[in-house]
Amino acid sequence: MPDFPWAAGSATGIGSLPGTDIAEAQRVVLGELPDLPHLAELPARGPGADMIGRSAGFLVELPVQLYAGQWQVAPRPGQDMRRTADLLERDLDQLTEQGEHYAGPLKIQSAGPWTLAAALNLQIGGRLLRDAGAVRDLTDSLAEGLRRHVDDVRKRLPRAEVLLQLDEPSLPTILAGRVPTESGFSAYRAVPGPDAASALRTVVEAVGVPVIAHCCAPDMPLQVFRDARVAAVALDLSLVKDLDPIGEALEAGTGLFAGAAPTTPPAAGIDGKKVAERVATLWKRLAFPAEQLPRQVVITPACGLAGASPAYARTALTACREAARRLSEV
Q: What is the pLDDT of residue 185?
A: 81
Q: Are 4 and 296 in contact (CB under 8 A)?
A: yes
Q: pLDDT of 1-10, one tens digit each?
A: 678 999 999 9
H/E element, 37 = none
Mean pLDDT, contiguous 10-residue spans, the chain (330 residues) = 90 98 98 98 97 98 95 96 98 97 97 98 93 97 98 98 98 96 87 98 98 93 97 96 94 97 90 96 95 97 96 97 94
CA distance 197 to 114: 10
Q: Which pLDDT does position 269 carry in this prediction? A: 86
CA dist list (Å): 189 to 113, 127, 140, 175, 176: 16, 12, 21, 9, 8
CA 290, CA 294: separation in Å to the nearest integer? 8
Burial 288-320 (b: 16+ CB within 10 A, else e): beeeebbbbbbbbbbbbbbebeeebbbbbbbbb
Name the DSSP letter for residue 127: B
The three-state secondary structure class of 211 is strand
How many residues belong to the chain? 330
Q: What pTM was estimated for this model as a whole?
A: 0.97
Residues 324 and 9 sit within 8 Å (Cβ to Cβ): yes
DSSP code, position 13: -
Write out pLDDT tens, residues 203-225: 999 999 999 999 988 889 999 99
Strands (E), 99-201: 104-111, 160-167
Predicted pLDDT at 198: 98
